Structure 1
């Protein structure tokens, strides 16, 4: 029968300063790329909306009788 509680030696040691620093260094490029992609996607969406509104304005300006 096994014991339900595990000792520190079985679980390993908790992460120290070196491990957290390495984790952040490895994660930072991923964070920057994901932010860049989300900003570009938002900028593209606003440009599409802006272009569509310009097309509507041009179409309404060229209607006969207006």
Structure 2
């Protein structure tokens, strides 16, 4: 059985930091490196969380 959406959405502290950052800076676009610097997390961890948010269709990749 899969986790409920809210458990997935708020499943990590990094994810919450990213969501807060993106919400406060909407509708601007940022690279993974920019997001990782602004939330003060490793780029690899930031990338993983952004990919998870994208798979849940919470965010989308800019063109």
| TM-score normalised by length of structure 1 | 0.25
Structure showing greater radius of gyration is 1
| TM-score normalised by length of structure 2 | 0.26
Q: Give the structure, 1 or 2, with the largest relative contact order (CA under 8 Å, sep 6 or more).
A: 2
